[in-house]
Amino acid sequence: ELKVEQNPLFLSMQEGKNYTIYCNYSTTSDRLYWYRQDPGKSLESLFVLLSNGAVKQEGRLMASLDTKARLSTLHITAAVHDLSATYFCAVDIWGAQKLVFGQGTRLTINP
Amino acid sequence: EAGVTQFPSHSVIEKGQTVTLRCDPISGHDNLYWYRRVMGKEIKFLLHFVKESKQDESGMPNNRFLAERTGGTYSTLKVQPAELEDSGVYFCASSPPDVGDTEAFFGQGTRLTVV
């Protein structure tokens, strides 16, 4: 059974600091997704990572994928309050067309 | 373009009652998925429709849950009778018909509370 683990589950940080959220998964997979959720809102797709070594960046967020280590990271640079949200990673089970999610990381950025 | 829409956004019902959740996918999206997040836990897959057919219902917890997608458009998820452990947020997602494309667009979720 595929398991996806995120850490940390809760993260409180100050504006201007850098931090990384980690996502480990237990079985080979072809795709890894990062989503953001604001309270009461839908899950917003941030990144889709398709291959080993893939790196994508959008603003202050950068995601990477190491398929050999079965690890993805979401790095936050110079955090700002607007980035406060819950972040989920999810892994695609190829051919099954369903996602296995991590527990989510609740990120709070304090002024 | 309208996104995935779910109704209601919140529902509070008593144990033993019936609740029906609705999901309207993005127009043209053949794939429709239901997921659930129980308090503090991970989001878990429930089932997957391709048009009106159930492609995979391996995540459905038990026979108190019934999902339908008549006509291949909107979908309903009925819980009957509801139990306390059914409380959580139910998400619907849809994706285009391309084979192997699982980048899904999610709705805002329905928060179900069973008391």
Average pLDDT, chain B: 92
CA distances from A30 to A65, A66, B28, B107 (A): 11, 11, 25, 24
Going by C-alpha positions, the residue among A23, A9, A33 that lies closest to residue A93 is: A33
CA distance B91 to chain A (A): 8
Q: How many CA atoms lie within 13 A of A54 on its CB side?
A: 18
- Cis amide bond preceding B61, omega within 30: no
Q: Considering only alpha carbons, which residue of chain A is nearest residue B102?
A: A97
Residue A96 has a pLDDT of 67
Give the model confidence (pLDDT) of B63-91 as tens digits: 999 999 988 899 999 999 999 999 999 99
- Cis amide bond preceding B25, omega within 30: no
Residue A111 has a pLDDT of 86
CB atoms under 10 Å from CB of B18, counted, come to: 11
CA distances from B5 to A48, B9, B28, B70, B110 (A): 23, 9, 14, 17, 10
CA distance B18 to chain A (A): 23
User: Rounded mean pLDDT of B26-30?
Assistant: 91
Query: Which amino acid, residue A16?
Result: G
Residue A27 has a pLDDT of 84
Residue A57 has a pLDDT of 95
Residue A50 has a pLDDT of 85
CB contact under 8 A, A90 and B55: no
Q: Which residues pair with B95 in a beta bridge?
A: B31
Going by C-alpha positions, the residue among B45, B29, B39, B110 that lies closest to residue B76 is: B110
CB atoms under 10 Å from CB of B93, counted, come to: 27
| Residues of chain A below pLDDT 50 | none
CB contact under 8 A, A45 and B103: yes
Confidence check: pLDDT of B34 > 90: yes
B22 within 8 A of B74, measured Cβ to Cβ: yes
Q: Which residues of B touch A42 (CB under 8 A)?
A: 3-4, 91, 105-109
Residue located via tokens 């897959």:
B45
Q: Which residues of A touch B93 (CB under 8 A)?
A: 43
Average pLDDT, chain A: 91
CA distance B44 to chain A (A): 7
What DSSP string runs through A32-67?
EEEEEE-TTSPEEEEEEE-STT-EEEETTEEEEEET
Residue A78 has a pLDDT of 92
CB contact under 8 A, B42 and A45: no
Q: Considering only alpha carbons, which residue of chain A is nearest residue B36?
A: A101
CB contact under 8 A, B102 and A4: no
Copy the structure tokens of residue A12. Answer: 């409180």
Q: Is B65 helix (H, G, I), strand (E, B) or coil?
A: strand
Per-residue confidence at B41, pLDDT binned at 50, 70, 90? Answer: confident
Residue A29 has a pLDDT of 77
To test the contact with chain A by mutation, choose from B41, B45, B50, B90 the residue with the greatest count of A C-beta atoms within 10 A, namely: B45
User: Rounded mean pLDDT of B13-28?
Assistant: 96
Q: Which residues pair with B105 in a beta bridge?
A: B94
Give the model confidence (pLDDT) of A54-74 as tens digits: 899 999 999 999 989 999 999
